[in-house]
């Protein structure tokens, strides 16, 4: 019996050590939030809490991020549709003080590039839209993943370089013919036009949101001023009423004393 307990304890320790080796310690990582495909800060940047936390698990980075919104914007008005081509994982919704917290994670083997995401913003009566945004993480403090991924990437890069060099040496003219292709030029112009229209639409939405927010703030301020004025009127009226009651009581007592016959 003692031998079985000893073996069971040893097996448990081995499993614990293996699990600890597979899951790394959490690292705090800062990041920037950009409009999709640009280096311009996104209007959603203010919703994202810093820093993100990153752990290494099974040869990949597990990144956990948190969206923090004020409670006066409704419950969890910003949610993640997708990030880095996958649905958000380990989603939790909590409330802390005057904020709603929406935490989620995603897994990637390369955090050095741009990470794209799709989010939905829904502030009832104010703003509702889907947005594509991009993240850029500071990976300087992150541990490197297993060498196999790097080796494979290096091998692929060398292979691509060799292929490109061979193509140049053989005098390939495919690039030249492609650049002179009128259909390609038309497609590029169409893509540029679409990108321009999407950018204009996004700017228009942001402008409408800003105007709506300013108008809402003006209404709140106006209502607050009205309430304050009403409060002063009620206070002054109450004081005057109290003075009238006191004066009436004094007059009543004084009149009663005058009517009492003196002996």
Instruction: Kindly report the CATH number assigned to the domain that includes residue 131.
Output: 2.60.40.1850
Averaged confidence pLDDT in the chain: 76
Range of the domain at 217: 198-263
Query: Is 262 inside a domain boundary?
Result: yes
Of residues 170 and 235, the one with the higher pLDDT is: 235
> Does 213 lie in the same domain as 130?
no
Is residue 94 situated within a structural domain? yes
The torsion angles phi and psi of 138, rounded to 5 degrees, stand at -90, 105
Render pLDDT for 38-84 as a digit per residue (tens, 0 to 9).
999 999 999 999 999 999 999 999 999 999 999 999 999 999 999 99
Q: How far is CA 172 from each of CA 101, 156, 159, 180, rounded to the nearest angstrom?
A: 55, 21, 18, 15
User: To 5 degrees, how large is the angle CA 68–CA 114–CA 167?
Assistant: 170
Residue 223 within any structural domain of the chain: yes
Helices (H) and strands (E) in the chain — how many of each? 4, 9
Which stretch of 1-5, 13-17, 142-146, 187-191 has the lowest confidence by average pLDDT?
13-17
Lowest mean pLDDT among 19-23, 87-91, 233-237: 19-23
Query: 29 and 93: one domain?
Result: yes
Same domain? 138 vs 218: no
Answer with the one of 110, 128, 145 that is the final residue of a domain. Answer: 145
Using one digit for the tens of pLDDT, what is the confidence trace for 73-101? 999 999 999 999 999 999 999 999 999 99
Write down the pLDDT at residue 238. Answer: 86
The answer on 221 and 141 residing in a single domain is no
Number of domains in the chain: 2
- Looking at residue 31, its pLDDT comes to 98
Instruction: Give the model's pLDDT for residue 197.
Output: 63
Residue 109 domain-assigned?
A: yes
110 falls within a domain:
yes
Same domain, yes or no: 140 and 211: no
Whole-prediction pTM = 0.50
Residue pLDDT, tens place only, 109-158? 999 999 999 999 999 999 999 999 999 999 999 998 875 444 334 444 44
170 falls within a domain: no
As a whole number of angstroms, the distance between CA 57 and CA 86 comes to 17
């Amino acid at each position: 019996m003692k031998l079985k307990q000893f073996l069971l304890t040893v097996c448990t320790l081995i499993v614990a050590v293996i699990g600890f080796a597979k899951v790394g310690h959490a690292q705090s990582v800062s990041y920037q939030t950009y409009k999709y495909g640009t280096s311009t800060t996104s209007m959603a940047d203010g919703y994202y809490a810093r820093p993100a936390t990153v752990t290494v698990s099974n040869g990949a980075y597990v990144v956990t991020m948190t969206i923090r919104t004020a409670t006066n914007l409704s419950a969890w008005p910003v949610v993640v549709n997708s990030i880095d081509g996958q649905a958000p994982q380990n989603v939790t919704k909590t409330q802390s003080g005057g904020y709603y917290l929406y935490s989620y994670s995603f897994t990637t083997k390369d955090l050095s590039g741009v990470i794209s995401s799709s989010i939905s913003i829904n502030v009832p009566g104010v703003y509702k839209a889907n947005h594509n945004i991009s993240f850029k993480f500071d990976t300087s403090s992150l541990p490197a993943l297993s060498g196999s991924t790097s080796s494979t990437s290096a091998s692929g890069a060398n292979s691509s370089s060799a292929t490109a060099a061979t193509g140049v040496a053989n005098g390939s003219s495919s690039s030249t013919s492609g650049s002179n292709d009128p259909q390609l030029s038309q497609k590029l112009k169409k893509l540029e036009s679409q990108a321009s229209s999407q950018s204009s639409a996004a700017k228009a939405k942001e402008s409408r949101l800003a105007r709506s927010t300013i108008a809402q703030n003006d209404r709140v301020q106006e209502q607050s001023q009205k309430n304050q004025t009403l409060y002063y009127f009620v206070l002054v009226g109450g004081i005057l009423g109290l003075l009238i009651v006191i004066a009436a009581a004094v007059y009543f007592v004084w009149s009663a004393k005058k009517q009492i016959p003196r002996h």
